[in-house]
Amino acid sequence: MRTREAILDAAEQIMLEEGYAGVTTRRVAARADVNQGMVYYHFGVMDDLFTELFRRGADKTFRRQAEALASPQPLWALWDMMQDPSHSALTMEFVALANHRKAIRGVIADSSSRFRRLQEEAITRILEERGAASDTWPPLALILFLSSVSRFLLMEQSFEISVGHDQMTAVVEDHLRRIEGERRTPPPR
């Protein structure tokens, strides 16, 4: 299984550095220091490689998210996680890829629903525990709010645009503060 993992690692690196269009059998094989035929032997056609790579990443993210949601300040932890570029970079690339590759769409859609359900369940519980039901947003709106904003800011940052980012971040964090209080762990980086 070492070859298999090497191929997935290589594909992931290339995808991050140059986008999904750069992920070709020839280049993946070269990067993994493996024969080109191996890619086909282990993964069949390219779509299967992408699918497998996505699953591997989703599983990792899923565990990471569960961890965040189980932490003392789950919303702050979730927010930190969503703002981590390394977390979203691959996801965004897969979203772009899925626009043209039908085989990928289903995998992403299923995975997203799975995440959304876990998030909803957790946030509902969190809001109830804190008795913050009245003056705050419904759980799903809160989730989509955090997801939307983090994704958008990351996207703009990759273009070196940052106009208004401070103001937007301040609004989000103000919202989190009203629910979970002052953040008790320092933000990453």
DSSP string covering 116-164:
HHHHHHHHHHHHHHTT-TTTS--HHHHHHHHHHHHHHHHHHHTTT--TT
Q: Please give the C-alpha separations between residue 186 and each of 7, 132, 133, in angstroms, as whole numbers.
A: 36, 24, 27
Which option in DNA, a copy of itself, none does residue 34 bind, with CB closer than 5 to 8 A by kind?
DNA
Which option in a copy of itself, DNA, none does residue 27 bind, with CB closer than 5 to 8 A by kind?
DNA
The residue among 137, 177, 176, 171 whose CA lies nearest residue 153 is 171
Dihedral-angle region of residue 84 (phi above 0 means left; psi in -120 to 50 means alpha; beta otherwise): beta
Closest to DNA by CB, 51 or 65: 51
Query: Are the beta carbons of 147 and 88 closer than 8 angstroms?
Result: no
Closest to a copy of itself by CB, 134 or 167: 167
Is residue 46 at the binding interface for DNA, with CB under 7 A as the rule?
yes
**Strand blocks (E) in 61-114:** none
Out of 9, 13, 40, 105, which residue is the one contacting DNA (CB under 7 A)? 40
Query: Are the beta carbons of 50 and 23 closer than 8 angstroms?
Result: yes
Of the candidate spans 31-39, 63-71, 103-111, 139-147, the one that interacts with DNA by CB under 7 A turns out to be 31-39
Out of 13, 24, 61, 112, which residue is the one contacting a copy of itself (CB under 8 A)? 112
Which option in DNA, a copy of itself, none does residue 147 bind, with CB closer than 5 to 8 A by kind?
a copy of itself
Shortest Å distance, C-beta 31 to DNA = 11
Residue 120 phi/psi, 5° resolution?
-60, -50
Residue 52 phi/psi, 5° resolution?
-65, -40
Interface with a copy of itself (CB under 8 A):
18-19, 21-22, 92-93, 95-96, 98-100, 105, 108-109, 112-113, 116-117, 120, 137-138, 140-141, 143-145, 147-149, 151-153, 155-156, 158-161, 163-165, 167-168, 170-171
| Positions in the binding site for DNA (CB under 7 A) | 1-4, 23-27, 34-38, 40-42, 45-46
